Structure formats: structure tokens, C-alpha cells
Amino acid sequence: MSILDSFDVDQDELELIDRAVRQPPQRNDKRICICGHPVSRHNEVTKACRPARFSCPCKRLHPVIEVPDTRYFLSRTLGSGEKHALTRGIFMARNAMGDDFEARAKWLVDMVCENPECRKPTKLFPIKCDTDWFRIYDSEKEQGVTCFYCESCRNIYYDSEEAIQAKREAMRLRNTTQTS
Ligand SMILES: [Zn+2]
Ligand SMILES: [Zn+2]
Ligand SMILES: [Zn+2]
């Protein structure tokens, strides 16, 4: 006796409805956006990303990796680098799938810094950015833009505490005046 047997419903009917509601065309898209979520979870028209029961503010639909199984890529972004949904998704997929993930996943981007003035070959590191591609520090504000920056492009923003404070304050002012 299954749990569903306690329901006064028709299983064949359930099967039919499930099939009708399922959306097969996008399911074959195994690409992951730089926001860390499947491209298939982005609205085809508006590009808005809705990975699960929450919305992702992704403003830059940019497929970066193709994976054998997209279901590990549904985390929230908690910051840059290790805290980013893309990094965490890859970590979880690799833990769950092991060598199979390694063998079948493939990058869709070149291993270069995305700063147009740099373009240096680099390991990838997802940085949470403002809409002008300037790095967001540890602000709670999620602007929906992620970029891959090399180590030196990540670090130039750490020039001084004062500079960081000034930038934070400017960002805070802009964000509070923007919300009307
Ligand atoms: Zn996205
Ligand atoms: Zn997303
Ligand atoms: Zn760089």
C-alpha cells in the first residue's frame, strides 16, 4: 500500500496530468548559467531566473558549463567564490557523481579573465558584481550580475579600507535612493 492509496484519486489520471504539465523541450538543455542555475530555469522571453521556490536576480544569462545533471544547480548565491551558487553547484555535483561528472562536464567559456582590459588566462572565480560589472563587496544587495575575474582584477578593489568604505557608502546611497 503506497501513500497515494490513501488518496481518493485515480493514478492513471495523475500520470496523464503529470505528462501534460511536464515541459520536455527545455529539459534537454544541460547548460548552466553563470548565475549558477540551469539555463532551462530562465524564462525564455524575460530571461528571469527561477531555479526553485525562490527567484534569482540574474540579469546576465550567460551559459558557462554543460553538465550531465542539472539538479545540483539550484543553490542560492551567498557571495562570491566559494559562496557562489555556481561554485557550490559544481561542488555538490562532483561530490554526488564523482568521476562521471568530471568526465562529462565541459566548460563553454575560455579560461580567461572577463575584465575587458585584462583578458589574462586564469582559473575561474565567480564574483558578484554590480550592474556596471564593478565588484560588490560583502553587501547583501544582489544585483544579478556575475563575472569571472582573475586574481589581480579581484584584488585591485581591495586597495584600501577607506576606498572600500567610500564605495560602500556610495552604493548604499544609490541603492536607497533607487528603491522608490
Ligand atoms: Zn542566470
Ligand atoms: Zn539564476
Ligand atoms: Zn583580470
pLDDT recorded at residue 157: 55
pLDDT recorded at residue 158: 47
Q: Which residues surround ligand 1, an ion (CB under 5 A)?
A: 33, 35, 49, 58
CA 58 to ligand 2 center in whole angstroms: 5
Report pLDDT digits (tens) over 57-81: 999 999 999 999 999 999 999 888 9
Answer yes or no: are the C-beta atoms of 124 and 111 closer than 8 Å.
yes
pLDDT band at 180 (very low <50, low <70, confident <90, very high): very low
CA 70 to ligand 1 center in whole angstroms: 13
Burial class (CB in 10 A: 0-12, 13-18, 19+), 148: buried
Rounded CA-CA distance 139/167 in Å is 11
- Spell out the domain ranges in the chain: 31-169
Of the candidate ranges 38-42, 92-96, 112-116, 154-158, the one whose mean pLDDT is the lowest: 154-158
The answer to pTM > 0.85 is no
Phi, psi torsion values for 146, nearest 5 degrees: -120, 140
- 3-class SS at 135? strand
CA 25 to ligand 3 center in whole angstroms: 37
Q: Long-range contact list for 20-23, CB < 8 A, 24+ apart?
A: none
Any idea which ligand is nearest the CA of 60? 1
